């Protein structure tokens, strides 16, 4: 298992990273990019505390001590453990999700299940990736979302054939891939990038049915990082108390004819498996989402409480209602995660535990669809100052600071702290972080619309129709097979 | 354990029941009241099927075979079992909750926990009630909600002192109580009525701090049943396919100086325990609610599917959205019940398992607050016919029936069935049942407003504030003790 | 102009009416149907008061005094006048819409506009209908909504060809029509029934492109009335204080090969005009809806205030919020009606004033989509008694009444009145009226979904796209013509 | 009337402005502050076009040509004109509100009405301010919102007495004031700042009952400008296509013992008028809000349409629903503005036209309460790229630009434009502008909660209660006087 220093060293490998129009040779010392780097490094340093080490490290029979994130779940308890350490590392990162070893393991679990339906050699390659990741304590990114072009068209129908990543050459020793993946979180701070298809495919799309893994410094791999507005978009980093400490970087990830050696190719051409792989990964990753997001919410809820106190309005009924709405949003997710663990199922072939699909999606749907409501409650409580608060530089100017400190002081309960409270609130709901998070929380880990369609398709209406058919006094309904069994069934299984 | 016939016999005991202005001597043969009677009897006859008997009967070490509803839960599994048989009996009752042995056992569990904090003799009386109920297989009603008078005033502040039920005389052999309880479900079909306080009390309210049990035919006890519009409010009972088979009757329950022998008095004057008892009962009863309501929802969801098919609109996106909204409403409750079982806690003194308070309340809040949304989706799908459908008598008249059958036929998918489908839908969302259910689902098992206040008061903001305080870079917050521990904590316990 | 007595006499003309499976020979003396009859008669008797006569009667240059409802609007002021008398007659009918001369005039206005695009003789027939209606002070019903069968299919695609009303024979002296119209309000209390197409049509549907008028006693016309649950579904009519005084009856209206003389046929085969006629009528009728519904809402809002007072909770913040929500729902409609009048446009050919389409639809959309929210607020305020209140017969029994009066009394503010208040509330949100109104307010005067699609299709995005195109710094957009001009444009016209 | 150059010259008067911790000597040449300066200057240069001059300039009998914003409204038409030029100047400013002469005239109208109830000399001072403003074509800011301290306390109860601006000295020739006002929009680009009380006051607060006007360069007046994140928080100004052209600056406005000569003091000590003045100004300013916001919305709606096109998803039903929601939000405001003009009333003493209070508040309530919903629809349509789009600097780097242009291209319909479309969308909902606007649209021009309370207090329930009282069959209600007359009444007045 690696120290944070070991990890940091591993990132200086010549990877191709661009930031704000410039090639960044060493991300660990870049004034902005070092923040996502340190954020990922934090995952490793957390284990320096004994109490956290006990939580974050598990012992594998063959490999010895490994990071808990790589524990392949085979029971409800394992899923509960996973949910707990995801929450714990998010809390230790100040409420900001720490994806470093999470998303990669989400992909590994999905691959492990699907691999058992593939050729034996593919299964071995997946097993080998897991072994390497766990043993070498790797940081793994996952590149899934294709850039898509015209979304009303399938991959092979696009005007430009590379709008979904595809195999452009098959050699005896491997494949060459071309395309681009969007929104790849922490690709720049990863050791290796796992690539998965982003949707179900048809026979005509077989060249797009590809899954593999490459090192972050692979030739032809280029990482174009988004401008990190949440860090740079404020007068000073003091004004970004959260993001100046913990933040994650997304890249547009370019595969400019990248060669992938055969032993790292998990899927190539078997288009029937693409959808299942994409969906299973999405399921694990949504489960991840409802595990970390409650902690992220705590940051906002805590800020709302502080703001209410500093405004002297904690006893107003509309403030209480607003806080309760925030709490309900948070707890919906945590409840869904709890239920998804307990009502999980074991994949019959691989023995891997899969979080309950219905509950995971319920939790995720609300999470994505209602985040804007959630933050609007904080805006309501905090007041207009979130848009008009002077900056830290004004506080540093003595001519101004006496006025600011005098006039922006609120109730006695938070005497001396209100400027800092409002500065935090501005970061959360009145600055560049706001826009970033609004997009993130709405779209990350799978869109609302896709989930809705999938849920309705998978839902088993048998019990409902039977009741209604009986009540109406009419003949039988004839739809039953192949549907996700809900509630009772799942619950029975989990007992 | 009793047969349905034994049970029916037990109801002919001279109890004082009024319906539509008349004293009903024998409710088992009354044209309307026999329906709630048969509904309760169904709970007993269900056990005639082997497969259901296996589910509904458990073996107690001392008492032998007893109804599963009387199993005092001491683990998450017991709570899951309880949730399952509540759902099962609701399904067997056509989607209508079967409260017959459920609400009484909810009260017993709450009393069992609180009793351990009382004098030993009270604990024994509770134990004795449980023993009698389980052994004699009793139907138990619970009368909790006081009529309240002016809701802005406490019991002793009311203009009229009897607006909350109270002890008016204390004798050596028992107490005399006076007052009225509202909305007592299936009091008329019960053997015994358990009476609980409806709120927390102060010292000035001590005469209102009373809990006891009386037989349904106790002297001075008068049951004024609501007009059962859902059964009577349609041209014929054919037009009420659900309610003409299964329905529950509420009464205004009058205690006109009823004598309660000492050995049936559980609480008298100990006002400090009134609130705890009221709240614990409410918690178990809310857990009951989120266990049966998903099945009730199935009736509506099934009807929505049939209506969509018969209208030929299953593929319209707004119809799919409406159906999904209905499913989400249902599954929110089932998910909450699942989570509430798994994240339950054991009362340290009594060893009784208590469903997770936060999750139970989350599920119940949404259930009460959004039922009107839920039914409005069915209204949307079904169309205006729910208000204007001809009645069954019109179908019986040959001059009319040919037109009705011809012109109200819809798509081929439900050929021949549409009138019956629409008749069911009219019962659900276009007739007297609608109004009844709207009130019921909004208010039964505890109000939204009370839950909100309680949740916010109990919620532990520590974790949230700590994150925000750290992010803002300010000093400590100092609130911590005595709060419901959420999420992580509960989950940990349940592992 | 007719007296109420004259009007009542005119209904005894042998029309074919069925109610609850029986042919009703004289609706004016039928115990249930006399209520919708008296409701319509009220429109005529209202004019017996001088002050109302002044409001409800206008003078036509040719015809002299006529009912104000037949005033063809040619200015914003005329539309305001129309909106006012619709509200006024609704208020005089206890909050229940009085459709008697409203819907017919809605149809007349639409026909008058479209007629100018037809053959001269059609225009004369429309003019002649208006003249007769105004001069003879007729009650007119409109039958528009076809029974539709499979809604995913066009008229000519239906398995059964009569699912939309159609011309089955063309004779020299007229046409023969066959089919059925659903939800025809107050057909049984009308003198004449105007029939309109319910949708836009294609050439293949030309036999369905038919509009005409027939007397209510036409041969082959059969009116099957819905069971009036709101009147009959309660123990006594005392329990239905609103509906036992004012109610409207819908029929399934059967045209069993009805002959229509040529001079009453307005449209036959000109399928291109069907959609325009249907839409214009719908627009006027939606304007009618947002004119009467605010008054209907007043009944609920008033009941909510009384209920809050009688429960002693007027000062609770959640009660205030609930009341405000109800007020916002009401005022949205009234505001839309106000704006629709002032931003109306004149049809360039006929000179008839047309309410602003966008504002009318905005008001109507919210009205239909949120009625369930509106009533749920009253349910919240009133409490569970709306489902469990004893009936009036219980009050008539002395054994029960003392208890009911004592225990259901609430706060002092409404001393002596609470039972009656709760009885009203039960009628509104806890009884058969509830289901009826839920369907009515959601579907009457046009569905939500149809409005949405129409609005989006008609909306002029030019101004919006121009701003965005300029801001983005890209080339022009090229969509402009044939769209409803919004806001500024309309407003300018109205100045 | 001034040219833009004249106006710009007038700003170089030594006013005390701080930005990001530094004193700015000349705001017209400051790299950031010149943007709000040019934005205000645009109001003057707009009149250089003949067609706009015709719209924006009116002729006063005494003063000759004056800016239309200073036209004191005395009819519905005047209010419609005002609404129109507010919209027009917002459109000419790219969708960004141009407050330059609007807020000041809002204050002037409120002062004009209240002045008639004051001493004659106060009325003359108001008249004189209007004359000067109109004649000299001034830019006027309004400072109203006090910093408030502990919001649960009245001004004189605050720990620190200056938390509401107050008179600290009264001299023969004027008064000296101390305090701070928050959120003063475009104070730095104004010639004069009008100061109003922010709430109703009691006798104990009389020193806070003060209204006056001062030049922007008054001694002791200090303007601390918020950091303009929307301009500075993106890699380059190219990335802020909207804000780099048009933006408004708010200041924390410090009155450090500023002397106000007597002839500019409008209110001093007459606490009874403070509330009325505050409320009337708020009403005019809310009317302003619902006049400009529809145009601001157009920018978002247009961007949503472009984004949908560029993603190839315009025909998806959830995209249509999202667009319709955006349209409904916009049109609600425009409809409210239209209705508020037509249903306006004339103040009986001053003859000034006052927009309908109920409709103005309805429009504003929804506007403030639902903006987060509005933007979330654009987030939904646009997709995750709003958070992860590369910056303009990346496009300038040839190594990256070929990939970005290739892979971020979407559907053919917007070929070549997608990057720019997404850049605009990022500015609107994924960057610093997002947070700023979220606070602004929620809080500017008056809070939701204050409006709600005011509306409920002012609402006349008489008509509603009368209907319900009559329906319930109970005695009279006795509340009637002093309430805002709604609907019918207002409408009658406006005819």
pLDDT in tens, C44-57: 999 999 999 999 99
Chain C residues lying within 8 Å of D466, measured CB to CB: 302
Q: How far is CA B350 from CA B113, B340, B358, C379, in A?
A: 6, 19, 21, 39
Name residue C267's beta-bridge partners: C211
- Calculate the CA dihedral of residues D303, D308, D312, D315 and round it to 10 degrees: -140
Residue C169: Cβ-neighbour burial (10 angstroms; 0-12, 13-18, 19+): exposed
Contact A77 B495 (CB under 8 A): yes
Query: What are the backbone angles phi and psi of residue B304, rounded to the nearest 5°?
Result: -65, -40
For C475, which residue in chain D has the nearest alpha carbon? D417
The Cα of A491 is separated from the nearest Cα of chain B by a number of Å equal to 7
Helix (H, G, I), strand (E, B) or coil at A177: strand
Chain A residues lying within 8 Å of D400, measured CB to CB: 18, 21, 222, 224
DSSP string computed for B131-158: HHHHHHT--EEEE--B--SSTTS-GGGS
Which chains lie within 8 Å of chain D at 3 or more CB pairs, if any? A, B, C
Residue of B313, B316, B317 for testing the chain D interface, max D β-carbons within 10 Å:
B317
The whole-model pTM stands at: 0.95
- Domains of chain A, by residue range, sit at 4-276, 294-453, 459-494
State the angle between helix axes of B371-382 and B271-311 in degrees (0 to 180), rounded to the nearest 10. 10
| Cβ neighbours of residue B212 closer than 8 Å, sequence gap 6 or more | B175, B177, B194, B195, B260, B264, B265, B266, B267, B268
- How far apart, in whole angstroms, are the C-alpha atoms of residue A204 and residue D107? 67
pLDDT of residue B490: 40
- How far apart, in whole angstroms, are the C-alpha atoms of residue C396 and residue B18? 12
Greater confidence (C346 vs D118) lies with C346
Helix (H, G, I), strand (E, B) or coil at A400: helix
> Using the 8-state DSSP alphabet, how is residue D80 labeled?
H
Which residues in C277-296 are b (16+ Cβ under 10 Å) and which e?
bbbbbbbbbbbbbbbbbbbb
The Cα of D44 is separated from the nearest Cα of chain C by a number of Å equal to 20
Sign of CA dihedral D216, D217, D219, D220: positive
Element (H, E) at A327: helix A317-342
Contact D362 C335 (CB under 8 A): yes
Contact A439 D387 (CB under 8 A): yes
Residue A154: Cβ-neighbour burial (10 angstroms; 0-12, 13-18, 19+): middle
Contact C302 D242 (CB under 8 A): no
pLDDT of residue B476: 58
Q: How many contacts does B have with D, using Cβ atoms within 8 A?
A: 3
Contact C318 B449 (CB under 8 A): yes
Residue pair D239/A388 in contact by the 8 Å Cβ criterion: no
> Using the 8-state DSSP alphabet, how is residue D473 labeled?
T
For the record, the structure tokens of C200 come out as 């836009």
User: What HEC string does C178-215 produce?
Assistant: EEEEEEEECCCCCCEEEECCCCCCCHHHHHHCEEEEEE
CATH topology (fold) of D293-453: Butyryl-CoA Dehydrogenase, subunit A; domain 3 (1.20.140)
For the record, the structure tokens of B73 come out as 């839960």
Element (H, E) at A170: strand A166-171
The ipTM, to two decimals, is 0.94
For B226, which residue in chain C has the nearest alpha carbon? C390
Residue pair B363/B290 in contact by the 8 Å Cβ criterion: yes
Name residue A459's beta-bridge partners: A484
Chain D residues lying within 8 Å of C486, measured CB to CB: 331, 334
Contact A299 B359 (CB under 8 A): no
Residue pair B467/A95 in contact by the 8 Å Cβ criterion: yes
Which residues in B70-82 are b (16+ Cβ under 10 Å) and which e?
bbbbeebebbbbb
Closest Cα partner for B194 from B118, B313, B109?
Answer: B109
Residue pair A234/A99 in contact by the 8 Å Cβ criterion: no
DSSP string computed for C252-276: EEEEEEEEEEGGGEEEES-HHHHHH
Q: How far is CA A122 from CA A273, A284, B200, in A?
A: 12, 21, 64
Chain C residues lying within 8 Å of A317, measured CB to CB: 317-318
pLDDT of residue D482: 39
> Is the pLDDT score of D478 beyond 60?
no
Cα angle B331, B335, B336; round to 5: 115
Residue pair C389/B19 in contact by the 8 Å Cβ criterion: no
- How far apart, in whole angstroms, are the C-alpha atoms of residue C196 and residue C278? 7
> Is the pLDDT score of C71 beyond 90?
yes
User: Residue range C250-256: average pLDDT?
Assistant: 98
- How far apart, in whole angstroms, are the C-alpha atoms of residue C88 and residue C85? 5
The band of C495, judged by pLDDT with boundaries at 50, 70 and 90, is very low
The Cα of C392 is separated from the nearest Cα of chain A by a number of Å equal to 31
Hey, how many other C-beta atoms are within 10 angstroms of the C-beta on A8? 19
Query: What are the backbone angles phi and psi of residue B183, rounded to the nearest 5°?
Result: 60, 35
Residue of C89, C314, C471 for testing the chain D interface, max D β-carbons within 10 Å:
C471
Q: How far is CA C351 from CA C74, C114, C116, C285, in A?
A: 6, 12, 10, 19
β-strands B174-185, B192-195 pairing: unpaired
Strands (E), D77-209: 140-143, 166-171, 174-185, 192-195
> Where do we find the tokens 């695009």?
C117
pLDDT of residue A494: 41
pLDDT of residue C487: 36
The fraction of chain C above a pLDDT of 70, given in percent, is 96
> Where do we find the tokens 């002791």?
D220
Closest Cα partner for D437 from C473, C176, A386?
Answer: A386
- How far apart, in whole angstroms, are the C-alpha atoms of residue D190 and residue D295? 23
Chain A residues lying within 8 Å of B95, measured CB to CB: 467, 471
Q: Which residues of chain B have pLDDT under 70?
A: 476-495
The Cα of A394 is separated from the nearest Cα of chain C by a number of Å equal to 32
pLDDT of residue A493: 37
- How far apart, in whole angstroms, are the C-alpha atoms of residue B167 and residue B169? 6
Contact B18 C400 (CB under 8 A): yes
The Cα of C290 is separated from the nearest Cα of chain D by a number of Å equal to 12
DSSP string computed for D306-375: HHHHHHT-TT-HHHHHHHHHHHHHHHHHHHHHHHHHHT-EE-TTT--EE--HHHHHHHHHHHHHSHHHHH
The Cα of C161 is separated from the nearest Cα of chain B by a number of Å equal to 11
Chain D residues lying within 8 Å of B318, measured CB to CB: 317
For C319, which residue in chain A has the nearest alpha carbon? A317
What is the pLDDT of chain C when averaged over all its residues?
94
**Domain B277-453 is found in CATH 3.50.50.100:** no
Closest Cα partner for B368 from B278, B459, B289?
Answer: B289
Strands (E), D442-492: none
For the record, the structure tokens of B361 come out as 């309340």
> Is the pLDDT score of D492 beyond 50?
no
The Cα of C482 is separated from the nearest Cα of chain D by a number of Å equal to 18
pLDDT of residue D36: 98
Name residue D171's beta-bridge partners: D174
Contact B376 C150 (CB under 8 A): no
* C336 closest CB neighbour out of D323, D335, D466: D335
For the record, the structure tokens of B349 come out as 């003194």
Residue of C317, C325, C380 for testing the chain A interface, max A β-carbons within 10 Å:
C317
- How far apart, in whole angstroms, are the C-alpha atoms of residue C118 and residue C272? 11
Which chains lie within 8 Å of chain B at 3 or more CB pairs, if any? A, C, D
* C468 closest CB neighbour out of D302, D335, D459: D302
- Calculate the CA dihedral of residues D334, D337, D339, D345 and round it to 10 degrees: 180
CATH topology (fold) of B6-271: Butyryl-CoA Dehydrogenase, subunit A; domain 2 (2.40.110)
**Domain C285-453 is found in CATH 3.40.190.290:** no
> Is the pLDDT score of C428 beyond 60?
yes
pLDDT in tens, B426-461: 999 999 999 999 999 999 888 788 788 878 888 999
Q: How far is CA B43 from CA B27, B54, B78, C417, D174, in A?
A: 17, 14, 20, 41, 86
Q: How far is CA A22 from CA A18, A27, A254, D426, in A?
A: 5, 12, 16, 21
State the angle between helix axes of D271-311 and D357-369 in degrees (0 to 180), rounded to the nearest 10. 50
Greater confidence (D479 vs C91) lies with C91
Q: Which residues of chain A have pLDDT under 50?
A: 477-495
**Domain A294-453 is found in CATH 3.40.50.1700:** no
Residue pair A353/A76 in contact by the 8 Å Cβ criterion: yes
The band of D476, judged by pLDDT with boundaries at 50, 70 and 90, is low
- How far apart, in whole angstroms, are the C-alpha atoms of residue A290 and residue A278? 18
Residue of D315, D316, D317, D322 for testing the chain B interface, max B β-carbons within 10 Å:
D317
**Domain A4-276 is found in CATH 2.130.10.30:** no
* D150 closest CB neighbour out of A318, A410, A433: A410
pLDDT of residue B491: 40
Residue of C448, C467, C492 for testing the chain D interface, max D β-carbons within 10 Å:
C467
């Amino acid at each position: 298992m690696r120290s944070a220093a070991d990890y940091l060293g591993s990132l200086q490998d010549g990877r191709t990273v661009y930031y704000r129009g410039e090639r960044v040779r060493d991300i660990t010392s870049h004034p902005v990019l070092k923040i996502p780097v340190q954020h990922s490094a934090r995952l490793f340093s957390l284990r320096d505390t004994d109490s956290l080490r006990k939580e974050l490290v598990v012992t594998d029979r063959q490999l010895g001590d490994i990071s808990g994130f790589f524990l392949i779940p085979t029971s409800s308890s394992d899923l509960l453990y996973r949910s707990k350490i995801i929450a714990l590392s998010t809390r230790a990162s100040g409420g900001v999700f720490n994806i470093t070893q999470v998303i990669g393991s989400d992909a590994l679990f999905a691959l492990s299940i699907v691999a058992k339906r593939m050729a034996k050699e593919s299964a071995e390659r997946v097993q080998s990736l897991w072994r390497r990741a766990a043993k070498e304590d790797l940081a793994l990114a996952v590149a899934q979302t294709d850039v898509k072009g015209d979304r009303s068209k399938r991959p092979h129908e696009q005007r430009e054939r590379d709008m979904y990543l595809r195999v452009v050459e098959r050699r005896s020793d491997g494949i060459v891939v071309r395309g681009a993946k969007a929104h790849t979180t922490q690709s720049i701070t990863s050791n290796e990038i796992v690539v998965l298809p982003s949707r179900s495919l048809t026979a005509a799309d077989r060249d797009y049915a590809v899954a593999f893994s490459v090192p972050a410094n692979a030739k032809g791999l280029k990482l174009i990082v988004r401008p990190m507005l949440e860090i740079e978009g404020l007068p000073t980093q003091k004004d970004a108390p959260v993001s100046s400490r913990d933040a994650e970087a997304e890249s547009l990830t370019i595969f400019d004819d990248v060669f992938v050696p055969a032993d790292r190719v998990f899927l190539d051409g078997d288009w029937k498996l693409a959808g299942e792989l994409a969906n299973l990964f999405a399921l694990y990753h949504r489960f991840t989402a409802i595990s970390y997001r409650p902690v992220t919410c705590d940051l906002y809820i805590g800020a709302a409480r502080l703001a209410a106190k500093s405004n002297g309005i904690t006893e107003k009924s509309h403030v209480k209602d607003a806080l309760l709405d925030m709490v309900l949003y948070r707890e919906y997710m945590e409840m869904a995660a709890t239920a998804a663990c307990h009502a999980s199922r074991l994949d019959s072939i691989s023995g891997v535990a899969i979080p309950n699909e219905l509950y995971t999606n319920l939790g995720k749907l609300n999470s994505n669809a209602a985040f804007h409501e959630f933050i609007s409650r904080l805006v309501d409580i905090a007041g207009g100052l979130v848009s008009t608060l002077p900056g830290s530089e004004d506080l540093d100017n003595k001519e101004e600071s006496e006025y600011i400190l005098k006039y922006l002081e609120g109730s006695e309960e938070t005497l001396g702290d209100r400027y800092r409270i409002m500065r935090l609130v501005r970061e959360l709901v009145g600055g560049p972080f706001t826009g970033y998070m609004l997009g993130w929380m709405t779209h990350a880990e799978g869109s609302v619309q896709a989930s809705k369609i999938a849920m309705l398709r998978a839902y088993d209406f048998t019990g409902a129709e039977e009741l209604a058919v009986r009540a109406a006094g009419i003949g039988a309904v004839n739809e039953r097979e192949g549907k996700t069994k809900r509630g009772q069934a799942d619950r029975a299984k989990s007992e």
